[in-house]
């Protein structure tokens, strides 16, 4: 009789064998031996499997990678635009803080505007607000640091043109700070300003500050050059304006004094 030809004998003998192995604790020893002998090959197979799986994942991920790349690009553009916006808000914030520091809001009704363009040849600038925001012609425009820029000469629905002080058609009464010497500030074009009708006897020095008289106290510029004419009862001074368009982004329109 062949032992292996009888399945019953195979089953019974195996059952007894495994019962003995499990109850006497030899199963654990057998497993330990198996793992001890197999460890080098298992380590090799594990690493090979990991590398193969990582390699194959690339093919399945290609479609996702392209999609992910497009998403990242779109997000990047969105974030860049957000960054630009934040920088603008930062500048706006700085201008507002300066105005607050100077307590401008206590003196005047202010409308914050932004320079959008500069017309160098015409001595004017364009701002981003107009009729829709309640602006009208002849309203004065100042910087956050209380420097006079000019006045609104043209108003559109959502834009306005500001005639700078240096415009040939611009003129306004002014005085020298702390000296009560009054005169007329006139524009000469190409960013030039003159202070005219100053009394000949008035003691004016270089770098004297020129401010407005109505409303009082808004800076215009400083005296850079004095000119005296023998035949005239008046003297003239050249003013360097404090306002420089390229150094400013935000301005305030004075709607009315409080």
> In the range 51-110, which residues lie near other proteins by CB under 8 A?
52-53
**Rounded distance, CA 171 to CA 186, Å?**
4
The yes or no reply on residue 49 touching other proteins (CB under 8 A) is yes
Binding segment toward other proteins, per CB under 8 A, in 44-52, 78-86, 138-146, 213-221: 44-52
Copy the structure tokens of residue 39.
């460890």
Residue 180 falls in which region: left (phi positive, over 0), alpha (psi -120 to 50) or beta: left
The yes or no reply on residue 45 touching other proteins (CB under 8 A) is yes
Binding segment toward other proteins, per CB under 8 A, in 8-16, 82-90, 180-188, 249-257: 8-16
The yes or no reply on residue 9 touching other proteins (CB under 8 A) is no
The yes or no reply on residue 2 touching other proteins (CB under 8 A) is yes
| Under 8 Å between Cβ of 127 and 160 | yes
Which residues, in sequence order, are CB contacts of 203 under 8 Å at separation 6+?
179
The yes or no reply on residue 5 touching other proteins (CB under 8 A) is yes
**Rounded distance, CA 258 to CA 253, Å?**
13
Q: Please provide residue 77's backbone torsions phi and psi, each rounded to the nearest 5 degrees.
A: -65, -40
**If you count them, how many residues does the chain have?**
258
The yes or no reply on residue 11 touching other proteins (CB under 8 A) is yes
Applying CB under 8 A, the residues found at the interface with other proteins are 2, 4-5, 7, 10-11, 14-15, 18-19, 21-22, 27, 30-31, 34, 38, 41-43, 45-46, 48-50, 52-53
């Amino acid at each position: 009789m062949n032992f292996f030809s009888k399945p019953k004998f195979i089953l019974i003998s195996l059952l007894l064998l495994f019962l003995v192995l499990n109850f006497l604790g030899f199963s654990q020893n057998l497993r330990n031996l198996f793992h001890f002998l197999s460890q080098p090959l298992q380590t090799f197979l594990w690493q090979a499997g990991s590398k193969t799986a990582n390699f194959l994942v690339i093919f399945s991920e290609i479609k996702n990678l392209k999609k992910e790349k497009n998403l990242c690009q779109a997000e990047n553009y969105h974030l860049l635009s957000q960054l630009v916006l934040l920088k603008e808000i930062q500048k706006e914030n700085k201008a507002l803080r300066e105005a607050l520091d100077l307590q401008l809001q206590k003196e005047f009704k202010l409308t914050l505007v932004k320079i959008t363009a500069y017309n160098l040849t015409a001595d004017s600038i364009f701002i981003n607000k107009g009729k829709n925001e309640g602006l009208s012609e002849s309203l004065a425009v100042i910087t956050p640091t209380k420097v006079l820029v000019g006045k609104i000469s043209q108003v559109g629905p959502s834009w306005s043109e500001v005639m700078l002080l240096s415009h040939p058609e611009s003129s306004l009464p002014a005085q020298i700070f702390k000296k009560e010497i009054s005169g007329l500030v006139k524009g000469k074009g190409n960013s030039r300003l003159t202070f005219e009708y100053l009394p000949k006897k008035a003691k004016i020095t270089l770098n004297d500050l020129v401010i407005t008289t109505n409303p009082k106290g808004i800076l215009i510029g400083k005296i850079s050059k004095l000119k005296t004419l023998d035949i005239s009862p008046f003297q003239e001074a050249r003013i360097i304006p404090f306002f420089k368009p390229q150094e400013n982004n935000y301005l305030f329109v004075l709607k009315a004094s409080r």
